Amino acid sequence: MSKIFTDKDANLDVIKDKKIAVLGYGSQGRAWAQNLKDSGLNVIIGLEREGKSWELAKNEGFTPMHTKDAVRDADIIIFLVPDMVQRTLWLESVKPYMKKGADLVFAHGFNIHYGLIQPPNDSDVYMIAPKGPGPTVREYYKAGGGVPALVAVHQDVSGKALQKALAIARGIGATRAGVIHTTFKEETETDLFGEQVILVGGIMELMKAAFETLVEEGYQPEVAYFETINELKMLVDLVYEKGITGMLKAVSDTAKYGGLTVGKFIINQDVRNRMKEALQRIKSGKFAEEWIEEYGKGMPTVINGLSQIQNSLEEKIGAQLRDLIQKGKPKS
């Protein structure tokens, strides 16, 4: 069982006198900045442009600064901009201006693990990766709770990198729930694998294939949508709340038998082998190279893929049925 750190393992005093620059004010940046500020820490916001995020930060009590100005005197620099923006931000607006020995902090290990950012030898480099979106990180904190997180240290010059990482984790509320110690390698590779094989790629293609199979066999698309896509939320909620065993206990005996027998027929050894192939692409760096090249071209694969899905039958049927479901909801 992995070591799980909680509030008793994290001391805010180790960073209470530090100036913390949060780079980005999007989903995670906004939540982290507000939570850290509410935890009594000294937070400044660093942004590249004076756009919507700049105005939002001002309206919510911060005095945003341009990135290069925010990092000049910062003791801790937290990268909370998208993965593919971080390298350019680092090279152009952080590395030339940052204070010698400032900590570099990440919420995902991608840029460090794949060598897109090469940190100075005199900087502590660590990561706190909340296992939930920014709005949830903020919502749970305000309610007195916290979203669990992973914590890792890539470079420990001071000998206190883990202590500081746990202090940041406490500042955003993560140690209220629990923080698991990992590595940049493990967090990056498992995160990418999960997104590709199940959370985004796998489940999306499984839903689409099941829907299309029923429609091709002559079943009504509305009925097919309910059975292969819409009801998934209820089952995932059961797994989230009670585990796989709890979900199985909640469904009918017919569903249990069908699921336990046919599930292994669909997700067979061939599928498992292809999962391992996908993992090897991640571990070898081939996926990262491909994604960097794709991003540099303007993401044509992503744009075309989204367009195809938006125009698909299942999306059109889904939009109609969601309206139907909303109409049936009881008025609060």
Could you read off the pLDDT of 115-142 as tens digits, one per residue? 999 999 999 999 999 999 999 999 999 9
As a whole number of angstroms, the distance between CA 110 and CA 290 comes to: 14
Residue 108 catalytic? yes
List the beta bridge partners of residue 140: none
As a whole number of angstroms, the distance between CA 57 and CA 79 comes to: 16
Q: Considering 108, 113, 154, 181, which one is annotated as catalytic?
A: 108
Q: At residue 331, does pLDDT exceed 90? A: no
Q: Considering the chain, what is the average pLDDT of its residues?
A: 96
Binding-site residue numbers for NADP(+) are 25-28, 53, 134
As a whole number of angstroms, the distance between CA 39 and CA 328 comes to: 42
pLDDT band at 332 (very low <50, low <70, confident <90, very high): low
Q: What is the DSSP letter of 285?
A: T
Binding-site residue numbers for Mg(2+) are 191, 195, 227, 231
As a whole number of angstroms, the distance between CA 253 and CA 32 comes to: 45
As a whole number of angstroms, the distance between CA 226 and CA 223 comes to: 5
Binding-site residue numbers for substrate are 252
Which domains are assigned to the chain?
4-182 (3.40.50.720), 191-328 (no CATH)
The model's pTM: 0.92
130 φ, ψ (degrees, to nearest 5): -65, 140
Residue 97's CB: how many other CB atoms inside 10 A? 16
What is the structure's pLDDT at 312?
95
Distance of CA 280 to the CA centre of its chain: 21
